[in-house]
Structure 1
Amino acid sequence: MLKRLLITCMVLCSVYSTYAQVGPVRNCAAQELLEKQNDNPKIAEKRKQIEQHTREFLQRKSKGMAQARTGVLTIPVIVHVIYSNSQENISDAQIQSQIDVLNEDFRKLNSDVSGVPAEFTATDMQIEFSLSQITRKSSTRTSWGTNDDMKKSSQGGVDPIDPAHNMNMWICNIGGGILGYAQFPGGPASTDGVVFSPQYCGSKDKEPVGETFYLSAPFDKGRTATHEVGHYLNLRHIWGDGNCNVDDFVSDTPTASAPNYGCPNYPSKSCTNNGGFTSDMFMNYMDYVDDACMFMFTAGQKARVDAIFEPGGARENLGSSTGGCSLAAPSGLASSNIADNSFTLSWNAVSGAASYDVSVGGTVTTVAGTSRTFTGLTAGTAYACKVRANCASGSGAYSSEITVTTTGSNCYAGPVTLTLVFDDYPAETSWSVTSGGSTVASGSGYSTKGATITETFNVGAGAYTFTINDSYGDGICCSYGNGSYTLRDASNNVIATGGSFGSSESVNYCTEGSGSDTQAPTAPGNLSASGVTQTSATVSWTASTDNVGVTGYDVYVNGSLNGSTTSTSSTITGLTASTTYTIAVRAKDAAGNESPASSVSVTTLSNSITYCDSKGNNTSDEWIQSVQIGSINNNSGSNGGYADFTSQSTSVSKGSSYTITITPAWAGTVYREAYGVWIDYNQDGDFADAGEQVYSRSRTNASSVSGSFTIPSSALSGATRMRVSMKYNADPTSCETFTYGEVEDYTVVVGGSARSVQAADMSDIGLFPNPAFTYTTVHFSVAGDVQDVDLSIFDAMGRSVYKQTISQVSGSHDETIDISSLKKGLYHVVIRGKDMNQTKKLLVK
């Protein structure tokens, strides 16, 4: 049982028939999932820490040293409906009925709570749920199983939205008769939440007039969600997944030998020594009885749940509280008497406070006065500290946090070296080293999957925090490649190592230093600009060298810092057309030394590009009858030698091939005619650059001519000019006046190539650049009829921050969005059309 205590399993609830019970019942396959999660030692260790934190909280609470949570905690809920038929696409009303059931059950407002036997006492969990968003996605998949595919857009599901602050629910047909399952606290952020099948969502008791919910008895009162949310909040099954020798780590629930099914008659006792009770608590939400026969939580279960919302708790940031103690947050929190293993904290008194909770590194101690000396600390370690006031009815808000670092020599020998092995998606990985709120080293913008890099930080003695981030939220091991990181000191001692984490992982450490590094890197060499457009330019350079190691480059535009990178190129966006800029680059090392600047002058293109004239003056004998390429199918006819068809456009993608067909027409005799096609790939207003003549051909008959060409990867994104020419008896040029022939101008819209398939992850949406600073271009394809497409951006809390409708889209399409007003962070770009509903993550820096 202690082994089970260390790792709380994801719980799978299923329906099947047994010999003792007629009809469907609940059942759990906890053991096999426990063994599966045991394979990940990082999750095992995290859950061990959660259980230890819970025990310490319960012990302090039993001794009156911890204040019980008061007020009502409201948890926002985001529901993802994934359906393969209209029946599974349950209504908003059915979903709301489920939220209503959760609010009744967790607030002890359910009418059937009156059925609790006198020897038991039901409690108000003081938790409410607020429906903040519903997403819907059509799928051809008819069952999803229990391997979390429904939580991954790469597998056709929907990614969780900000799981640290929202409870995500996936409603989809799990299959195999399975009701639902939940992830206990401490699991990966990328799979955090609750899952259940649509026929077990909501309550038939709350059906509005004229609507029939899609529900299956006897699990049609919404208690499947209540049960699974209990697991999500760290509650175990009432019998502890064992026999009479184990329990659920809750003192006021009787020991039971096994789950109860159906609707047992009270009393029903399965263990002789069960704590002095006359019956199992089969009516508890964490047993396996039918929906109509479970209707209570206990005070002990509430205390266990409260622990995960305490400072340092696994769900500390989930939801927000109202009511309870209204005392102000203490002011003036300060430290003194800092030693190797101790320091003193003090703060200003709060009127009406009976005591204070002081959090030091996540451990909370209740004290009577306004100061306390904390001992038994680790030398050379940074501790986050905050304090709140307690009154008779609960606790007030915490003060602002301060960091206190103990003295002493329990530090590592510098310099420190990071060895980083990337997974299959290196662009999602970034890291930083901070000290005193300042970043002293960082890395991002990686592109080579499976590569290994090393970085050395020679930043002197001090306390530091190393943080590694994964923008997708699934760490760097082991779902998509075996990524890892290792931090070592100068003596090769391991400071930290890992790879399996959610969105980020941090470690605090200190170094004794090895002498100050004062040598700056060399200046970046051969700085040059390319890909200049009206609003952007790319600069590149050769790498600098340093006595210890170059950690990155700062890029400046007209003297202001534009951004930092670890690569030897940078794309600058948000520029103004027809404007000259001075772009400079400096190299930097871990000690903060910067190189001399290298600079280059760049002038952006004009918004009003004027193309050269190219006109014939006689089409009485021959002309271009039609042009076909992509979505352009223009039956033009004679146009007096020249026609401006730039209002007609087709979308193309870099690296893709396209066929153009030109059909001529003659009034009489057929002559030798030559054809040419040009595309202004660099959008500079001419067709004179290498590779911009994409096709040439001559013919002496009246047949159509066709040829293929490939859009180069160096082409600039956006709309540009395509010129098609036909000339009598000589090869045409892009700019000339000739006697016989015709010229037609069209528009092509160049988009980025799709993300390469590195695993099973392939999305129809492309974002470039991503991460982005001021602009990003959304690339997507519409396969089928011409249709209107809605483009939306949601922040991490699920709030809409941008929306537009793109009319009449067919084939591939690129849409450039100004994101300069968005705050830094993770966003979700959503594309919805008649036949599509897809999401892509966007990181704004």
Structure 2
Amino acid sequence: TCTDGIQNGDETGVDCGGSCPPCGGGCEENGATLTIVLDNYPEETRWEVRDAGNTVVAAGGTYGSQPDGSTVVENLCLTDGCYDFIIYDAYGDGICCAYGNGSYSLTDDSSGSALASGGSFGASETTNFCVGGATGPSCSDGIQNGDETGVDCGGSCPPCGGGCTYGTIDFNNFEGGWGIWNDGGSDCARVSGSIYASSGSYSIRLRDNTSSSVMTTDNLNLASYSEVTINFSYYPVSMETNEDFWLQASTNGGASYSTLVSWASGTDFNNNQRYNESIVITGTFTSTTRFRFRCDASGNSDYVYIDDVEILGCTNGARQAGADIVVTDKEEENTRQQDQVSPESPASYLKLFPNPVREELNLVFHHQQTGQVQLIVTNLAGQQVYRQSFTAEAGRQEAAVDVSQMAPGVYAIHLLADGQALTKKFVVTR
């Protein structure tokens, strides 16, 4: 509308121009021109400008009524200050170069200088800019911006309390006993057998699907941690198709649990093979956090052997934002809350290792049909830092991403295929 305080529709200024009242002879503040060359799917592209308070002051798109590959010109009028220009692509592949040669540029009308430009990105790209003599992101403005990894710290600013520092909370190969882990009962046992152990001779055997088919940690004081990574090895035996086991978490001392990840026979693993997993968990942890592995099989002859369980924690002076670990109802515990994929998704899972990583991140995924696949890595600000496209055959696939030039921190990797997406987080350390 012409009274919503936002430049939108066909307005040439905020609530003026186009079908609204004239803008009084043009922009009396800071004029800027946005030029977008659309790709072959203009109905996927939209943009917005947000001020320092995260309020949208200008927006446009999508452009489904425009021809493929056409050019759109938008005129903006902005008061003195710093802004974020954000461009979005609904499919997650940007506007260049898989399906057309799209691009965008935002130019300062007074100086002709480029404020933002690009075209090759993922689901979105954000560029901070300033007009009217305002200064850009600083290390003392109380906002996480620029290349900061926390509020006024990280990137080109001082480290965030030494940066996101990973440390070992616990490691157990069960050679000397249970450690912080607890025996669930008759369907859980510490057993000897080198074929089942990842290292040494001992591992933890879970079977069946009873209340005792669990191995559970003591209460862990993780209140100071912003992220936890659990690495472990497992060896399944005689697990029937779709029988699975879960990794669960509790933040209330075991009163209730949330299922974080599940692994199912025939989908995520085959029997009599060793697998190594690395699970990154972000959220709000407590002083009474517990983790547990739970078997969900059908009898006493269905086994999964767990070994070499390592729990790592990341502490940071500026805690990274993350969703709380949500506690599910008992009947919902069988739902995968991480790596959840719809039945029609062409990629049925995505595994990452090692995680944390220093040099090369390895990926394993299952592709249900031959087709184009894109791997996109973004930082916590949503900025694309890596992109790779290739054709993947149907079945199990492997890929690798060189992270040796990425700054230490938390990243997200997005696997895109046939309009579906899987996203997982990983940590780069040095």
Higher relative contact order by CA 8 Å / sep ≥ 6: 1 or 2? 2
TM-score under structure 2 normalisation? 0.31
Which structure shows the higher strand fraction? 2
Q: Give the helix-richer structure, 1 or 2.
A: 1
Greater Cα radius of gyration, structure 1 or 2: 1
